[in-house]
Structure 1
Amino acid sequence: MNIDYDGHNSTNPNNNSIVENNNNNQLSLQVPQKYEDYDIIEELQCFNCNQHTFIQLNKKSLLSNKVVYYCTNCGMSFEKQGNGFKLVDISDKSNRMWELYNLKTLTWPEWERIANGGLSDKDQAEKDKQLAIEKQKELELQRKKDLEIVVQELAKGEVNLKPVSSPVILKKNETAYLSLPNITLSEPRAVRVSKSGGYGTSYRFAKGFSVHSGVGESRSVSHDEIMAIDTGTFVITNKRVIFVGNKKSVNIDLKKILSMTVYKDGISIQRENKQKIEYFTKTNRHSMDFTIDGRTHSLPLEGYFIKAIILGQIANL
């Protein structure tokens, strides 16, 4: 069906002004048959084909007011639904807009963004969310790599730790590099448990009646349990590992350390001339800041970190 209408230079799809007649600019347009009883309201530039062939069609009735936007060049067609616009048709079904959002109802700014290679608000939000997750994974991976480098460099004694104050009276040429309050000192303690047992024979001499004879015995068994001894300040210097508590103090020469075992919340140390292993826990409640290549990390002082610091000081003896 051919419809004559006068061109109007407008780009607002919500502008319902009637097009002024202009015989000098009159064009002959063809619209789908289903829109033949619609009135032409205005002419817009199509954001899909960039031609000035996007027309607004309007059909008023007692019960409704139907609004359609149709491009006579590329066949893109929208039906207004509430505050949104539903993409109902386009000539080229391989068009990106149609493949992604055919029969979807979106806002006009969304359609303009999609025509320029963008996404709907919902899809863009999901994409941003995924990008944020990927970014966080990259940061975590980088943090892990940085942590490995820091631990390696600490263990080799190649990290310049800053001196700190501590409650320990330091010796000549001794410097404290770590001082952690509220650390728990634990040691193995022997615990005795009494166990009883026996043996014997039962004799049944009538239904429901029996007699048991035998011998009973009791014995005491001892085993070690790790028990908290004291709470105090844990200090690492360039010469010693020191614990200053309310009840007990520990002074470990770095040269006397035989082995160390790491835990998530601390470390245990075995040293010369000391049969019992000493456990220092709750170190992970503290943290230390490190900067590597401009990236600063606050790292919890778990056992492997404490061990690396001690190994670094031993390496520099």
Structure 2
Amino acid sequence: MEIKALDNVYGNYCTVRPNFFDFLEADVSKIFGEKGAFIVFNIFNSQKEEDELYIEDIFRLVRSVISAYPNVYGFILGTNDIIITFPNYNFADIEKISYKVEANLNNRINTFENSHIQLNKFILQYDQEITSVEDFYELLFNNAIRLEENREVSRKKIKRIIHMFTNNIRNTLHSYKYANELAFIDDVSGISNHRAGKLFLSKLMEEHIENRKGFGIMFIDGDNLKRYNNISYDAGNQMIRNLSSIIKDSIRSEDKVFRWLSGDEFVVIVREIDELNTLKLAERVRRAVESKTKNYIYPTTISIGVTHYPSDGKTFNDVINRAEKANAYAKSIGKNRVIKWNVSMNE
């Protein structure tokens, strides 16, 4: 299962460890063909954190064995199910390869120290074309109940298939949530980042078309926070976290704070509020930072530029850029103050 062989199957989705995402995105007609067989290896009885590393090792071993055969594909479904597909192979060859894979896996598992990992194998031959992931799971279900004299065995097969499918979905959702956190959560402060802020702001603008409710924007920049970076990188990051917490504690529960593009920049979006109360809330945030940091090694202040939608701009860029200009003006006249944007700042 060389990487270059898989490129033709699912293009950019190819990874060193093809998973359930890759399986869903794969060209199913190619990985199953018009007939053939597939094997599901279930790694069970995992009891320790180290076993996760062993499972990775197991999949690498599977990949190394099947790489010797053309048009054989492998995926990890969930955390402990490995599926190998043999499109258009005859069953005699499939059994030989299956035996080789299983023997190598068992030999490898026996070398794991203090591990209780065990291996189950489920092999299914088919002679109809599989054109979708739905076809694949339907085939599994049908096989579990067809010509099965022992109902208890049939029930266990169905239960196992359902467990495999739901576990795959659960792990897919977990991966999605993790990817979402990487994309929209700032890793230093732990609050939402500028990507999330842009999406939230765009959503409010769309809602304004129907509800006609305005909102305020605060562009916040720390005054002289570089002194903490001069102490150490960790001290600078800790100050960012402290500042994030103070800002969050100073605004209303329905308001949102985002870490913006550079180190000590934040944007606060305050919903359903008029211009006057936006300024009052911004002043509350400014005072809170000044008060709560007065006993720090370096007492900290912030400058805040304020705009209001839609009176100060009809587009995303307008309201953000003008809030930033108001912030720059606040810094230019002495810092530690709240300034509302006005047209003269464009000059």
For the aligned pair, the TM-score class normalised by the smaller chain equals under 0.3
TM-score (ref. length: structure 2):
0.21
Q: Which has the higher contact order (CA 8 A, sep 6+)?
A: 2
Q: Report which of the two has the higher share of strand.
A: 1
Q: Which has the higher helix share?
A: 2
Could you tell me the TM-score, scaled by structure 1's length?
Answer: 0.23
Kindly name which structure, 1 or 2, has the bigger radius of gyration based on alpha carbons. Answer: 1
